[in-house]
Amino acid sequence: MKRTLSVEALFTNPSLKGRNSVFPVSLHPSTPIFVLLLRMIQKLLEKALRLEFLTAEEGVTLFREAPTAALMFVGDQLRQKHVPGKKVTWIIDRNSNTTNVCVANCKFCNFYRRPGHPESYITTLDEYKIKIEEMFALGGEQLLLQGGHHPELGLDYYTQLFRDLKMEYPQLKLHALGPPEIAHICQLDQLSHDTVLQTLNEAGLDSLPGAGAEILNDRVRRLISKGKCGSQEWLDIMRAAHRTGLTTSATMMFGHIETLMERMEHLVDIRRVQAEKPDGAVGFLAFIPWPFMDDGTLLKKLKRARNQCTSDEYIRMIALSRIMLPNIKHIQASWLTVGKQTAQVCLHAGADDMGSIMIEENVVSAAGAPFRFTANGIQQAIRDAGYTPQLRDQQYAERQLPKQIQQQVLDRETMIID
């Protein structure tokens, strides 16, 4: 049955009063200002439903003024336009790290070590083999491979590594590095973005993760990740990746020192790069927002930034991501940072993907993300939310669930496992 938009009904439904409505109790539905606000929100939501581009200011208005129920309703309608049906996708992969040596000094990162630190490492080929074979046994086929900005690891190192891994495991998929690491390699070797990306692609890079975006605003980046590439370079590297034919994803780490307008401008910038991709290129396959994890970070100590993102705020960001990004097909809920229940609600607010079970994850977890899923657990969570789980690969092609798949053994003392 076709549902029609009735934002007004959502606003005036007495059962929502005081829960989802952001209007003060004193603002009675019959007051002129309420009616004006209602009409403005309704117009913006209808614009979103026509898949038109909303401005950053319009995004801020919706984020500030629209009730969560109205945003969820529209987010879900848009999800149905992009990805019709009741399937929710997920992936089995392993987030391994090339090295923890880094000279970028991001203030939200507890993962890196300075060069020469006794805990610093570069992963060896023998270690990769153990990790990859373990991942194959758990049903995965992809390494999400990232690491620090090592001052001595340039293009030759990564091309050799990718060739060695693909030689040993031709079926392995490499979703590796990210714009800041590409920028670092370009700087070390004095090469262009296009040259580095084409060379890595030829060596075995299958797709480029949207890592290190944080907030694409140089005021914010100067304060939290000064050693990383600037926002323009991040976007330019994604443009070059799309020219090379690599599929990519886009991300946002929010809820620290950015303003709401900077958050919305981030979405507008991502959308602009996607609109510029060459004909036939896929560009950004997915967008993944997650809240800043603050546990023990310098950002918390020095800037007093706290993770204050509530479930409600995260769900609103998922819906706003759908609304602001009408040219990106998939929106992923970050269960790793917000937990199972919030991620399940996000599936009713515009998200169509639950991401990876992450056989290994060391970067976000180091700042306090305690949640974990087994392969059975993520599928059950999707079913419990009212959807059908579907295993996928990095290109969002459906995969058959391998017949013999081991379940991960996880540490229940230190993790919250579903």
Interface residues toward ligand SF4, by CB under 6 A: 102, 104-106, 109, 111-112, 148-149, 180, 225, 228
Rounded CA separation 309/290 (Å)? 9
Query: Minimum distance from CB of 109 to ligand SF4 (Å)?
Result: 3
Which of residues 175 and 348 has its CB atom nearest to ligand SF4 in the complex?
175
Query: Minimum distance from CB of 181 to ligand SF4 (Å)?
Result: 8
Query: Minimum distance from CB of 182 to ligand SF4 (Å)?
Result: 12
Q: CB–CB of 144/209 below 8 Å? A: yes
Rounded CA separation 11/310 (Å)? 21
Which of residues 96 and 225 has its CB atom nearest to ligand SF4 in the complex?
225
Rounded CA separation 296/366 (Å)? 9
Which of residues 146 and 198 has its CB atom nearest to ligand SF4 in the complex?
146
Query: Around 232, how many Cα atoms within 13 Å sit in the side-chain half-sphere?
Result: 1
Which of residues 65 and 189 has its CB atom nearest to ligand SF4 in the complex?
189
Angle at CA of residue 10, ends 7 and 13, nearest 5°: 145
Query: Minimum distance from CB of 283 to ligand SF4 (Å)?
Result: 24
The residue among 217, 253, 257, 246 whose CA lies nearest residue 234 is 217
Query: Minimum distance from CB of 200 to ligand SF4 (Å)?
Result: 18
Tell which phi-psi region holds residue 409, choosing left (phi > 0), alpha (psi between -120 and 50) or beta: beta
Query: Minimum distance from CB of 236 to ligand SF4 (Å)?
Result: 18
The residue among 384, 387, 409, 410 whose CA lies nearest residue 80 is 387
What end-to-end distance do the CA atoms of the chain give, in Å?
Answer: 34
Structural tokens at position 261: 């307008």
Neighbours of 306 (CB within 10 A): 12
Which of residues 38 and 109 has its CB atom nearest to ligand SF4 in the complex?
109
Which of residues 20 and 225 has its CB atom nearest to ligand SF4 in the complex?
225
Which of residues 149 and 256 has its CB atom nearest to ligand SF4 in the complex?
149
Size of the chain, expressed as the number of residues it contains: 418
Query: Minimum distance from CB of 364 to ligand SF4 (Å)?
Result: 10
Rounded CA separation 376/253 (Å)? 28
The residue among 365, 264, 404 whose CA lies nearest residue 324 is 264
The residue among 357, 371, 370 whose CA lies nearest residue 405 is 357
Which of residues 72 and 153 has its CB atom nearest to ligand SF4 in the complex?
153
Q: CB–CB of 155/199 below 8 Å? A: yes
Query: Minimum distance from CB of 209 to ligand SF4 (Å)?
Result: 12
Which of residues 73 and 108 has its CB atom nearest to ligand SF4 in the complex?
108
Query: Minimum distance from CB of 176 to ligand SF4 (Å)?
Result: 14
Distances (CA, A) of 408 to 67, 126, 172, 228: 39, 21, 20, 34
